[in-house]
Structure 1
Amino acid sequence: MEDRLVGRRLAGESSLRHAALRAFAAGLVGALLSRVVPFPVPVGLAVAALALAVARPSRGWSLYLALAGAALAWTAVRAPMPARPEVFAEPSFRGVVMEEPPAGRPGRMVVALDRPEGGRVMVWLRDTLVRPRYGDELVVHAPARAFDHPRNPGLPDRNEQLARQGYVGRSNVSGRQLELTGRNRGSKPVRAVVLPARARLKEQVARLLPGDPGAILLALLAGDRRDVTRPTLTTMSDSGLLHVLAVSGLHVGIIAGLVWLLLALVGVRGWWRFALGTLAIVAYVVFVGARPPAVRAGIIAVTAALAWTGQRRFETTAALGLAGLAQLLVNPNAFFELGTRLSFAAVAAIFAVMNLVFARRQARRLPAFRAFSFPGKVAAALAASVAAFAATAPFLLHAFGRVQLLAIPMSPVAILLTTLIVPLGGLATLLSSMWLPLGMPFAETVRLLIGGLLRLAELTAGCEPTMLRYGGSGLWPAAAALVLFLLLHGRGRRARVAAAAVVLAGITVSVWAAALRPAAERAWFLDPKTGDAMVFEDAAGRVLVVDAGIDGPGVLRDFLLRRGVRRVSVAVITHPDRDHYGGLLDITGKVRIERLVIPTAHGPPDYRRLLERLVAEGTRLVFAGTGTGLEFGGFRFRFVWPDEPARRLYAAELLGANDVSLVALAERGGYRMLLTGDLDRPELIAGRDIRAHLLKSSHHGSRKGNAPEVIEEVGPELVVVMGRYPTPAGLEERLPAPDIGHINTRRDGGVSLDWSGPQGDLRPVVRDYRGRVLTVGP
């Protein structure tokens, strides 16, 4: 019986046990192809029809091509439609509430537009005068705005991510701007059962565990992370343990296992246990919102229960294939979301490793389900963790630019803590709903376990030497080679030798690729959303920052960390306005600043506290003004403003901060860039040899700082505006002129200047945030 359940290939067993996985792979290829090359729907249908016509001559193999064609067409049909311009032109919009705002405080709700093309709008409530409910029909008396998240080189485009999820825009309103026109729209089961149950669970958790522990428990039980504080989410993300807060296979497996065990304890067995267990799994998946990872885990759990009840072998590849096919049928565009890709990649890797472990045990004539020894359990857990890490690391590196290697040994510990927290937390909430003191002992135990989980995340996130960063060590090819090694391990001596050779080659190539990467000097003009932010990199990889944008969006922080920068050689803050120095507040404690160049130490309290903190961390302050020079690799900076009298007048509060803004002429190989900060009085620098190829528009395109005579005196080939669109000076109408290019990073996204291109030492290659070469200037 045991052989039938787990293991040995039985006589007469069908060779089609991987058919579901192959079908899923074919459908996934079709879905991905629809995103790479936007074929019309008829093309996909024609491919599917042609493949079906030749199914008999091809002995059925063309059916996979038919699946790919059908998936291509279905993905195109289900793709969210882009927002029409009239959506943003209207003063109001009508829709149905699909996600309620948080209770008792301002927050976000989601409204599905009542239009034929559909689409959803994120509506941010500024007050709690009105709390719309799921299914309410509303008229929002405020315009919908297009998303304007920053777009920068090397960073994910949040605007595109939201568009793929079906969002068309955002709106910021007060309760007085909402008009209720109807009720009871949306799904009746969700309205009548799911949402009241979630609200009841949230109420009980808040009574038992107020604060962050309660928010963590709610995320573990219901997948609701809205109340988890941003610092906690950042810590969990940096530690590589954020996956335990996303309801997926771990959580569904815990619930399914508990239900299966409870039904057995009360004497329910056989197909009745399967039916009731399946009902419980489906109910939990719906309760947590039926997100793709939870749906995938639910299908695999039901498949496993079916195999157990029918006394059949549980085929992991078939279960994964069925889960993938179901997701393709429900929403193929979900595979373009990071969470879905991570979920399927991790499970596929874990299944592959566990299959190899069981195959080795069978080769030694050991039953696959015989209890492992303790060292064996630890080794199996680490093998699964390594496999999941190797499979998901490329996606994480692409999305976030860094992964924590220490997450490999720490993930099994976090999973063990989660396995204890979920049932104890559920029991505590259940008992407290009867009588509060009954649940308190379990709640205190859960509090200690959650504290241990958070402490584990803090220790893991704080271990910088084990943080793998994109473009830093270049070890991700070795991780991919490790996956190949795990897949080939145990399949013969030659296969093992070949896999070892691939691993060695992967490590060698990755190390030498990083070491032999050609030296290049670059500059980036970022889109910080508000303010200015520029980054310069010399051939040695050192970094100089000019302004940091405003704090909050974290653009400079994410850009530096994505590139593996842990040390900034020089940071220049042109003047003490928060949209220029605020970004340093985001990187303090994460990135070391060796020298800080400023025009003055006077300024608002936050500015002075920032200077004190940086000095305490070892940063050296340097005061710059007219005549100050700075050499940085191949870049030379010459400051032409402010002079000493202007700085004294500012200290006496007789001048504004913009009037003492550092103005620098940066030069690299004859290519000159005038960086003007927020100087609004261009007459202060007139006649100081300020001609340049590139002009950074003063004060985000202000009228005074960008008068026609200023541009005429500088004579730029390219004008770059940051922090505002449209500009008060109307630069988008005045430029581009016949001999002047124009880039507004709010409209066009961040750009890079690269001096390693084919244009020689003088002119850099200008690229947009996607890496495409731009033609600007003469």
Structure 2
Amino acid sequence: MPLLGVVAWLAALASHLLGAWVWVLLGAVAAVAAAAAAGPSRRRHGATVVGLALVAVAVAGSAVLRQQAISDNPVAELASDRAAVVLTGTVVSDPRPVSGRFAEQVLLRLEVREVTGRGVTHRLATPVLVIGGEAWAAAALGSRVRTSGLLAPADGGDLAAVLTSARDPVVLERPDVWWRGAGAVRASIRASVAHRPDDQRALVPALVDGDDAGLDPALADDFRTTGLTHLTAVSGTNLTLVVGFLLILARWCRVRGRWLYAVGALGILGFVLLARTEPSVLRAAVMGVVGLLAMGSNGQQRAFRALGVAVVVLLLVQPGLAVSVGFALSVLATAGIVVLAPGWRDALARWLPRWVAEAVSVPAAAQLACTPVVAAISGQVSLVAVVANLAVAPAVGPATVLGLAGGLLGLAIPAAGSVVGTGAAWCVGWIVAVARRGADLPGAALDWEAGVGSVAGLGLLCVVLAVAAPWLLRRPLAAVGLAIVMVVGVTARLPSPGWPPAGWVLVMCDVGQGDALVLRAGPRTAVVVDVGPDPSAVDGCLDDLGIDVVPFVVLTHFHADHVDGLGGALDGREVGEVETSRMLDPTSGVEAVLSTAAAAGLAPLVAPYAETRVVGEVALQVLWPLPGSPTEGTGDGSHANDASVVLLAEVRGVRILLAGDLEPPGQAALARMLPGLDVDVLKVPHHGSRHQDLDFLTSLRAEVGLVSVGADNDYGHPAGEVLDALERTGTEVLRTDTAGDLAVVVEGGVVAAVGR
């Protein structure tokens, strides 16, 4: 059965990569199978080969037919013409608010049953992604609605089209009673913890039913770093805990025999309704069933066979799972627990209590099995994942069960639900503390290049570790020594050879598509200008520079790519002040800064215009915006760039212009105000966007130009014409997307820049 699962997976992948050409490949497979069945070894191997071929044909055929059904239908044809249409369909996913460039939008999936476009009405069943206004947030899962808008082609193979500019929905039918019931339970779970702190209020629903709306992005980053992300999404663990709890209750109520299977089946059905019938939930439910089988007698063999069956069935029903990262992680984690964990447990049980051996072996096996895939998608390997999962394990079960119990009890007695929900929130508080403290460790994660060769090498290393682990674990000295090495590697800050370079005065941190700059004020002290979009990225950059004291942080404006990392810059450091632009726009960025600063006991101030301040080796002056300039914008951040704080800094004789995201009108105004301005280093405005006053930028005669930009960004940053214009005037231009962290150094009066 595991072999059938592997073949099914390969066939589904081939269908996605080859399209209709997969039939040629399957024809060759069928010919080989027929030859094997007719050959001299047919009695021993013929049936197996034929079975493998049948599974491959079935899965690949299902995948191709599904792709054709989605891509070759009237909705897809109308989308290719970008036609205006009227749609009627069923809401099949929860509405998800997202921040658009100019306004809040809501995304959801609609199973279209009727479409009218170009004067013709078609009846069919095909999935469409809807992008609409705030009214769509009230569109309940399972309701039948009518709307209109413009169709556009979809990028993904699981959607026939995207409906843009969707009109507010007209509800034709309310959801069925089971969907209303599941929605009421989800709402009750949220209500049972509504009185708790933000992190606990968001994480309890995520643990119980995968409802992660409102989860702090910084906390989500910490969960990724510590290998705890599976707790914030629907996984097989959720189902195992919920259904296991129901089975225990059933046994207490003297339910026996086949009735227990009925209770288990109803529990699985209820879990799927509660967590939604999306592919990821169905996958998690099936993997949870495999986990339940592993708990019974002869569990390892039964679960391994069941895993093969689960993979085949899931790929027959949803072939698109073959290219889903979540599916790969679920299968690998389950396989690791079923295949590796028993041997590791038995090895450890020779010198440790069996319950301790099991507690260590299960998360370790799951983590090792998933490591290559996690490294491929995240570019890092968590070194604290096993310890973090061990630390939170005692709290996960109670938090999940109490969260569900609080929601169910709250339907009848809200006050009692809140009491039980408080218990779930206390358990979750421990999980949050482990995630935050673990992510703060110096060696919490190891950067790993996401290339084919490096990931393949990591996979080979994991195989070697899987084979060698039983030998190591059955020997106390070897196991303890390995544990000590891991603890030292995680808790001790290892030196980064050659970084920071001697004589550095400025470092531009590689934080992706955003800005974060560090001006050296003295030993372990720096002024920080902008903090990028990712708290962990700026925190790691400051850690690598050894910065413990930050006299003040300047946020040039309130766009997310400049302010969302504030928590990382403040965490664990002595920070004097936070200064910002005069224009308090966009409001979402302002609110995020205010709340993050308040949590650190700080109240942001407006950066003082024209005042020269000296902090250690740094002299800093605000050149822009002017006093009396607007403090309120439109609310969507469309005018925030030209209100960026522009700073003229001098560090050890090096003059640096930090221009934020200033647009051409602001640059032209600066040129008029400061004719003849000459600097050594220019932070190129707005990530090298083509919207620049090139006359002003080239007149600065900077020796070094720095561009903070994310690799493969969707904005076309940086623009080639801007880089060419600067280089023609003798400016050496360096970019974070190609050189990583950038440092400006001065030695013997010579200014230069180096990448990490």
TM-score, normalising length from structure 1?
Answer: 0.62
| Residues 86 and 537 (structure 1), Cα distance of their counterparts in 2 relative to 1, 3 Å cut | farther
The question of whether the paired residues in 1 share the 8 Å contact of 2:146 and 2:169 is answered with yes
Partner secondary structure for residue 570 of structure 2:
coil
Partner secondary structure for residue 680 of structure 1:
helix
Residues 178-327 of structure 1: pairs in structure 2 closer than 5 A? 178-180=168-170, 182-183=172-173, 191-205=175-189, 208-212=192-196, 216-226=203-213, 240-261=227-248, 269-271=256-258, 273-274=260-261, 277-291=264-278, 294-296=281-283, 298-299=285-286, 314-327=301-314
The question of whether the paired residues in 1 share the 8 Å contact of 2:142 and 2:176 is answered with no
Q: Deviations over 1:654-692 (max 9, x none)?
A: 9998597236899xxxxx998654223234455456799
Q: Distance in 2 between matches of 1:172 and 1:515?
A: 52
Q: Distance in 2 between matches of 1:492 and 1:472?
A: 25
- By how many angstroms is 1:377 displaced? 0.7
2:427 to 444, 452, 459: 452
- By how many angstroms is 1:325 displaced? 1.8
Q: Distance in 2 between matches of 1:73 and 1:375?
A: 50
Which residue of structure 2 aligns with residue 369 of structure 1?
none
Q: Distance in 1 between matches of 2:176 and 2:645?
A: 62
Which residue of structure 2 aligns with residue 41 of structure 1?
20
Q: Distance in 2 between matches of 1:229 and 1:492?
A: 40
| Residues 384 and 253 (structure 1), Cα distance of their counterparts in 2 relative to 1, 3 Å cut | same
Q: Deviations over 1:273-298 (max 9, x none)?
A: 44553354344334422455653454
Aligned-partner residue type, residue 19 of structure 2: P
Which residue of structure 1 aligns with residue 397 of structure 2?
419
Q: Distance in 2 between matches of 1:718 and 1:403?
A: 33
Higher strand share: 2
1:533 to 510, 515, 529: 515
Partner secondary structure for residue 349 of structure 1:
helix
1:589 aligns to 2:577 (yes or no): no
Q: Distance in 2 between matches of 1:556 and 1:306?
A: 40
RMSD of aligned C-alpha atoms? 6.7
| Residues 763 and 466 (structure 1), Cα distance of their counterparts in 2 relative to 1, 3 Å cut | closer
Q: Distance in 1 between matches of 2:676 and 2:271?
A: 72
Which residue of structure 2 aligns with residue 375 of structure 1?
353
- By how many angstroms is 1:447 displaced? 1.8
The question of whether the paired residues in 2 share the 8 Å contact of 1:523 and 1:535 is answered with yes
1:134 to 127, 134, 142: 142
Q: Distance in 1 between matches of 2:431 and 2:32?
A: 57
Q: Deviations over 1:323-363 (max 9, x none)?
A: 2222222223334444333322222221123432687799x
Aligned-partner residue type, residue 458 of structure 1: A
1:98 to 92, 110, 113: 92
| Residues 673 and 545 (structure 1), Cα distance of their counterparts in 2 relative to 1, 3 Å cut | same
Which residue of structure 1 aligns with residue 3 of structure 2?
22
1:334 to 321, 324, 327: 321
Aligned-partner residue type, residue 452 of structure 1: C
Q: Distance in 1 between matches of 2:258 and 2:419?
A: 38
The question of whether the paired residues in 1 share the 8 Å contact of 2:557 and 2:645 is answered with no
| Residues 493 and 414 (structure 1), Cα distance of their counterparts in 2 relative to 1, 3 Å cut | closer
Which residue of structure 2 aligns with residue 752 of structure 1?
738
Partner secondary structure for residue 450 of structure 1:
helix
Q: Deviations over 1:677-719 (max 9, x none)?
A: 42232344554567999965699655xx52x755776799999
Which residue of structure 2 aligns with residue 772 of structure 1?
none
Corresponding pairs, count: 666
| Residues 536 and 62 (structure 1), Cα distance of their counterparts in 2 relative to 1, 3 Å cut | farther
Long gaps (5+) in structure 2: 98-103, 116-123, 502-506, 632-639, 729-734, 743-749
Partner secondary structure for residue 110 of structure 2:
strand
The question of whether the paired residues in 1 share the 8 Å contact of 2:93 and 2:110 is answered with no
Which residue of structure 2 aligns with residue 121 of structure 1?
129
Partner secondary structure for residue 18 of structure 2:
coil
1:348 aligns to 2:327 (yes or no): no
- By how many angstroms is 1:110 displaced? 0.8
- By how many angstroms is 1:468 displaced? 1.9
Q: Distance in 1 between matches of 2:192 and 2:484?
A: 53
| Residues 323 and 593 (structure 1), Cα distance of their counterparts in 2 relative to 1, 3 Å cut | farther
Long gaps (5+) in structure 1: 1-19, 148-159, 185-190, 365-372, 667-671, 743-748, 768-778
| Residues 504 and 602 (structure 1), Cα distance of their counterparts in 2 relative to 1, 3 Å cut | closer
Partner secondary structure for residue 662 of structure 1:
strand
Partner secondary structure for residue 176 of structure 2:
helix
- By how many angstroms is 1:46 displaced? 1.8
| Residues 478 and 697 (structure 1), Cα distance of their counterparts in 2 relative to 1, 3 Å cut | closer
Q: Distance in 2 between matches of 1:612 and 1:266?
A: 52
Which residue of structure 2 aligns with residue 11 of structure 1?
none
- By how many angstroms is 1:573 displaced? 8.0
| Residues 699 and 577 (structure 1), Cα distance of their counterparts in 2 relative to 1, 3 Å cut | farther
Which residue of structure 2 aligns with residue 745 of structure 1?
none
Aligned-partner residue type, residue 533 of structure 1: D
2:530 to 545, 548, 551: 548
Which residue of structure 1 aligns with residue 363 of structure 2?
385
Partner secondary structure for residue 142 of structure 2:
coil
The question of whether the paired residues in 1 share the 8 Å contact of 2:538 and 2:565 is answered with no
- By how many angstroms is 1:23 displaced? 2.2
| Residues 684 and 65 (structure 1), Cα distance of their counterparts in 2 relative to 1, 3 Å cut | farther
| Residues 537 and 81 (structure 1), Cα distance of their counterparts in 2 relative to 1, 3 Å cut | farther
Aligned-partner residue type, residue 578 of structure 1: F
| Residues 555 and 120 (structure 1), Cα distance of their counterparts in 2 relative to 1, 3 Å cut | farther
Partner secondary structure for residue 364 of structure 2:
helix
Which residue of structure 1 aligns with residue 647 of structure 2?
662
The question of whether the paired residues in 1 share the 8 Å contact of 2:9 and 2:315 is answered with yes
The question of whether the paired residues in 2 share the 8 Å contact of 1:360 and 1:490 is answered with yes
Q: Distance in 1 between matches of 2:292 and 2:132?
A: 43
Aligned-partner residue type, residue 446 of structure 2: Y
- By how many angstroms is 1:548 displaced? 3.0
| Residues 567 and 165 (structure 1), Cα distance of their counterparts in 2 relative to 1, 3 Å cut | farther
Q: Deviations over 1:244-290 (max 9, x none)?
A: 34333223223433444555566665555445533543443344224
Partner secondary structure for residue 555 of structure 1:
coil
Q: Distance in 2 between matches of 1:76 and 1:762?
A: 59
- By how many angstroms is 1:139 displaced? 1.8
Q: Deviations over 1:68-108 (max 9, x none)?
A: 687567556656869999679667774633234499xx984
Q: Distance in 1 between matches of 2:277 and 2:518?
A: 45
1:680 aligns to 2:668 (yes or no): yes
- By how many angstroms is 1:201 displaced? 1.3
Q: Deviations over 1:306-339 (max 9, x none)?
A: 8999999852221221222222222233344443
Q: Distance in 2 between matches of 1:230 and 1:493?
A: 37
447-456 vs 489-498, which deviates more? 489-498
Q: Distance in 1 between matches of 2:302 and 2:578?
A: 63
| Residues 403 and 72 (structure 1), Cα distance of their counterparts in 2 relative to 1, 3 Å cut | same
The question of whether the paired residues in 2 share the 8 Å contact of 1:98 and 1:111 is answered with yes
